[in-house]
Amino acid sequence: MMWLTLLMAIPIIGTGVIAILPKKNEQAVKQIALTTTLIVLATTLAMATRFQRDNVELQFTEKYSWIPSFGINYALGIDGLSLVLIVMSTILVPVVVLAGWNEPQGGRWSVKNYYVLILVLETMMIGVFAATDLFLFYVIFEAMLIPVYFLIGGYGTGERSGAAVKFLIYSLFGGLLMLAAIIALYVISSSQGGATFDLAALSGLQMSSTTQNLLFLGFFIAFAIKAPLWPLHTWLPDAADSATPGTSVLLLGVLDKVGTFGMIRYCLTLFPEASKTFTPVILVLAVISILYGAILAIGQRDLKRLIAFTSISHFGFITMGIFAMTSQGHSGATLYMFNHGFSTAALFLIGGWMISRRGSSTIADFGGLQRITPVMAWMFFLAGMSSLALPGLSSFVSEFLVLVGTFTRYPVHAVIATFGIVLAALYILIPVQKALHGPTTPGNENLSDLNLREKIAIAPVMAIIVVLGFYPSPLLNVINPAASHVIAQLGFSDPAPSNGGK
């Protein structure tokens, strides 16, 4: 059964249905969109149950010739890493649809367009994680920019068009560098027994170390822009500031993961030697991202920008985990991707509700929400706790795994990065104090608490945050084989306990 193609097709079918609906009938459009995303979710979960978790090979593979002259295939397949990210994406989309029920109203275009964009984006999100053909991956990687661009520019607030352009230009620039590297890979592959874009075949190519280093950089810079790594991050705060909360969730929660996903799937597998060469630099950048993102988050006055900067810090952790080259670091990073999706989703969605109710995103405009809108306030608090990686909540497991995994090989980096957890306490508790605590600020008195729809939307996110904090095994069991496979392929094994040299 073509599970992955089916997954990608369902949203497209939904798009078709929405397209034939009259523009006026917004409710029907929304309901169809929600139903479609829920069907996708159900199908994903059905697929996930059939996933053989100890099998490190790609599963649910499909392969059809697409452009034979270049050896390009429509090839899909997933391993634990992709599965986890696909599951995350398909959970987040219905949540976003439900949570942002009234979001598209403020847009430049119709509600219908909004959901068409969202559904198209969902197809691409599944495709980008499932692609096992480099060309297919790149096509989706770039094409994804377009719906997001229109989502930010068309339905955002404030300086939305500027932010959308900045996002697009940044991403396109990275994408073009990657294209150069892809072209080089293609040419090299065709000189070594047949042009191909098959991931497995490409990873066996012979390259001089200079070539490998250059190509690695081409890929890595593209991914580092996506998963914003210092100093390529400046598009993110602007984009998050302007986008609707729902878009921000998809942008930070899913799209940016393509960056970190790509680092594992493409940078490490295709260029093992170059990965090793660049590891020291990347780790330093990751550590800078962690601290820099955190410090800047502390310095923000705007709630959305603050959340964006926390994500920069979190992506620093993920990158660090990936390049620590230990199974703990890798599994932790993958798990972190999943968890970050939900904690950021929670922060953005609840923050978005706060902002839309108050009509301002300046933190100082809030105050005393805990008494006016207790449910919303406590949900925000819980999301914040997840973001600062409180033990017992999901992010802790991943963050700690990353730190431990890094420490065993790169103790200094891990130690410096750990200071991030103190900064995390500050960047979460400062907005909590200003927005939720303290006396009620004038203008807030009549804010309404979450309604039933919003509660239903946020409930699964919260549940995942709490449950995975205590019981991450189901996910880890899926992630571990894939993670150790990558590590082993690179020729790394976890450092043995050193006993301090005794």
d(C-alpha 283, C-alpha 96), whole Å: 33
- Give least dist CB 40 to other proteins, A: 21
Q: Which two tokens stand for residue 428?
A: 């979460």
Q: In the complex with other proteins, which residue's Cβ is closer, 188 or 249? A: 188
C-alpha neighbours within 13 Å on the C-beta side of residue 31: 5
Burial status of residue 402 (CB atoms within 10 A of its CB: 0-12, 13-18, 19 or more): buried
Task: Report DSSP letters for 373-436, one per residue.
Answer: SHHHHHHHHHHHHHHTT-TTSHHHHHHHHHHHHHHHH-HHHHHHHHHHHHHHHHHHHHHIIIII
Residue pair 441/382 in contact (Cβ under 8 Å)? The answer is no
Nearer to other proteins, 140 or 376 (CB): 140
Q: Which residue's CB is nearer to other proteins, number 43 or number 157? A: 157
Structure tokens at 283: 């780790």
CB of 453 to other proteins, least distance (A): 18
The nearest distance, CB 142 to other proteins, in angstroms, is 4
Of the two residues 38 and 426, which places its CB atom closer to other proteins in the complex? 426
Measuring CA to CA, which residue among 226, 219, 123, 113 is closest to residue 167? 226
The residue to which tokens 């497991």 are assigned: 397
How far apart are CB 146 and other proteins at their closest, in Å? 7
Please identify, using beta-carbon distances, which residue of 94 and 226 lies nearer to other proteins: 226
- Between 28 and 288, name the residue whose CB sits nearer to other proteins: 288
Q: How far is the CB of 73 from other proteins (least distance, A)?
A: 11
Q: How far is the CB of 497 from other proteins (least distance, A)?
A: 3
Q: How far is the CB of 271 from other proteins (least distance, A)?
A: 17
Q: Residue 246 contacts by C-beta under 8 Å, 6 or more apart in sequence?
A: 96, 97, 99, 100, 103, 118, 349, 352
- Residue whose CB is less far from other proteins, 271 or 396: 396
Nearer to other proteins, 51 or 173 (CB): 173
Instruction: Look at residue 257 and give its three-state secondary structure.
Output: helix
Contact of 440 with 368, CB cutoff 8 Å: yes
Show Cβ contacts of residue 31 under 8 Å, excluding neighbours closer than 6 positions.
none
- What is the closest distance, in whole angstroms, from the C-beta atom of residue 269 to other proteins in the complex? 19
